[in-house]
Amino acid sequence: MFIDETQDDSDDWMTALLRSPIFQRLPPVNLQKILMSLESVHFSKGEIILDQGGMGDYYYLIKNGQCELTRKPSPNAREIKLAQLATGDTFGEDSLLSDAPRNVTITALTDISLLRLNKQQFVSLIKEPSLAFVTYPKTQEALKQGAILLDVRAPDDYEKHHLDGSINEPFFSLRMQLKTLNREKPIIVVCNDGKTSEAAVFLLLRNKINAMILRGGMTGAKSDSEQDLALADTIQANAERSETVPQHHQAMQPASHSASLAGNEQAPQIRLLQSEVEALKMANQQLNDKCMKLEFDKQHAEKQARILYKQLEKLTQVLNKLKNE
């Protein structure tokens, strides 16, 4: 006899929670703390749960009922219906991740029961273990291997300046474009400072799309590029200076200048050391990736163990009932 876990409707919200790609990435201890920290709230049909423009304070999970997401592009514009959510769905994370005002209004379509987690708990228990960041140099390496660079800024900002090879999909419309994204390749998300990217990556992960954040956004990329250019210019200048100083003139230079020339001769060694450092960083990243995969496999095995335990309890109940009869 096999009893499928979906046959028990009493804990639909918990089943949906454990099946969520976001929650499958979390350590079991985090899941336990989340379940212990959830606070129950109720809204009547027609009540506004979240108002566009308000500040984020909670992350919500629908225990029972339905609600609707709407958005006004401008204060005087008509509301646009974006989505309808039901039991097991979650919402409210965008503002918590980006520190920006709520970008949608959420209204109860039925009487609805919700479970919520405050911002501090959401950040420590869900956000920090879920999101992965990459530097600009690592992003360049990933792009060469086929990764996709997704710019989630507004079209005007993208047109003014963007990173080579990036594609633009503004965050406010990303939810509606999920089906068009390539799920076979990793996606690296970039915005101005990295904050909106966190909300975008959370959305992508929730929809089973492998995504990471360019650390620091466009600001971080610019900083890394300037450092690389400055280092290259310094090395080039030192090499040129070494080549232009005549040999007989070098012999007459003071000790301080001789030390400077010695430093120039060490430029190839510096480049070699830099290459070794990059190789070590790459090896470290590969180890981190393996650790993440092992952690995912561990969580999957623990989930299967929970399912089997639950099925065992049901079988025990059935056997006891048969014995009593």
Which CATH code fits 8-129? 2.60.120.10
Domains of the chain, residue spans: 8-129, 131-218, 274-314
Question: What is the per-residue pLDDT for 249?
Answer: 47
pLDDT per residue as tens digits for the range 265-290? 566 677 777 777 777 776 776 676 56
- Res. 157 pLDDT band, cuts 50 70 90: very high
SS (H, E, C) 283-303: HHHHHHHHHHHHHHHHHHHHH
0.85 exceeded by pTM: no
Contact at 8 Å (CB) between 58 and 118? yes
Nearest to 70 by CA among 84, 82, 55, 54: 82
Tell me which architecture the domain covering 131-218 has in CATH.
Answer: 3-Layer(aba) Sandwich (3.40)
Cα(298)–Cα(204) distance, rounded to whole angstroms? 22
Work out the average pLDDT over 158-175: 91
Three-state DSSP state, 314? helix
Backbone angles phi, psi at 85, to 5 degrees: -110, 155
Work out the average pLDDT over 49-61: 93
The angle formed by the CA atoms of residues 9, 15 and 21, to the nearest 5 degrees, is 150
**Which ranges in 25-146 belong to alpha helices (H)?**
28-37, 93-98, 119-122, 128-130, 136-144
pLDDT per residue as tens digits for the range 64-73? 999 999 988 8
Q: Is the pLDDT of residue 301 over 90?
A: no
Question: What is the per-residue pLDDT for 1?
Answer: 31
Three-state DSSP state, 102? coil
Work out the average pLDDT over 174-197: 90
Question: What integer best gives the mean pLDDT of the chain?
Answer: 80
Question: What is the per-residue pLDDT for 74?
Answer: 85
Q: Is the pLDDT of residue 130 over 80?
A: yes
Contact at 8 Å (CB) between 91 and 60? yes
Structure-model confidence comparison of residues 165 and 317, the more confident one? 165
Contact at 8 Å (CB) between 80 and 72? yes
